[in-house]
Amino acid sequence: MTVQQRVAVVTGGGQGLGRSFCLALAEAGWAVAVVDLDLENARAIAGKVEASGGIAKGFHADVSDENAVSRLAEQIEGGLGAVSVLVNNAAIFSTLSMGSYDEISLQTWKRVMDVNVTGTFLCCKEFAPRMAAAGYGKIVNISSATVFTGRPGYLHYVTSKAAVIGLTRALASEVGPQGVRVNALAPGSTETEVERATITREAREKMAGETALRRVQVAEDLVGTVVFLASEASDFVTGQTINVDGGLAFH
């Protein structure tokens, strides 16, 4: 691949895990399109990459809006070049309230599916054909280890992240012959710079105590797997879900 072709898109790259994925991919040599609903955050992360000698640009898009995703693909190709890596990380997550299955409103349910599932679908629908035309591409979908533990109070979220695993498998089968690899990463509960009402420090430490590695998970624990799935090192891996949770669930 030429340097110009090493372009990675990270949705929801403006904060949290997406932010760490952008920094790690940039450090590993990709030009990074930092995509977020919050353009200011996306630009700030792109600025951080550029300040350390990498290449990045911030873009605004709502991944659940088909026209916005099409426009985004054109803007990224025009601004950075052809995309070979897509990390579908944007999701309704840190802003989500927990509640029992019979307390979740239909409106909240639909919005979670729209962003977490349809957003992933729309980005795949837009970028996979472009990768297929080039004969090579890597898609990394961010799922969640809650799919394996079935965390209570998160029915909408866990269902959406299970759908991401199904999408990963079915799409991998379809686009494999064109050289596009599609895998999922399932992170365990991970501490980021973003405060969440859904988990306390005590709950996090209790969960860490139940893992094989016995410590709280941080964003840096995930970047190696993202870079691996984005790189040629994983070229014979597709349709898989890698669970990275310090050994809480054994998948």
Ligand X SMILES: NC(=O)c1ccc[n+]([C@@H]2O[C@H](COP(=O)([O-])OP(=O)(O)OC[C@H]3O[C@@H](n4cnc5c(N)ncnc54)[C@H](O)[C@@H]3O)[C@@H](O)[C@H]2O)c1
Residues marked active site are found at: 157
From the list 57-65, 76-84, 101-109, 130-138, the region that binds ligand X by CB under 6 A is: 57-65
18 part of the interface to ligand X, by CB under 6 A: yes
Give the x/- contact pattern for ligand X in 34-53, rule: CB under 6 A. --xxx---------------
246 interacts with ligand X by CB under 6 A: no
Position 12 contacts ligand X (CB under 6 A): yes
- Which residue pairs, CB below 8 angstroms and at least 24 apart, start in 161-167? 161/116, 161/186, 163/113, 163/116, 163/117, 164/88, 164/116, 164/117, 164/120, 165/141, 165/241, 167/117, 167/120, 167/121, 167/124, 167/141
Q: How far is the CB of 151 from ligand X (least distance, A)?
A: 10
Residue 63 found at the interface with ligand X (CB under 6 A): yes
Tell whether residue 158 is a contact of ligand X (CB under 6 A). no
Helix (H) or strand (E) holding 58: strand 56-60
| 194 contacts ligand X (rule: CB under 6 A) | yes
How far is it, in rounded angstroms, from Cα 241 to Cα 251? 9
Q: Report the alpha-carbon distance of residue 67 to residue 170 in Å, rounded.
A: 24
Show the site string, 104-143: x = touches ligand X by CB under 6 A, - = not.
-----------x---x----------------------x-
Smallest separation (angstroms) from ligand X to the CB of 35 = 6
Closest CA relative to residue 161, chosen from 182, 143, 145: 143
Bridge partners of residue 242, in order along the sequence: 185
Structure tokens at 182: 């599609």
At its nearest, how many Å lie between ligand X and the CB of residue 41? 6
Residues that bind ligand X (CB under 6 A): 11-12, 14-18, 36-38, 61-64, 89-94, 115, 119, 142, 144, 187, 189-190, 192, 194
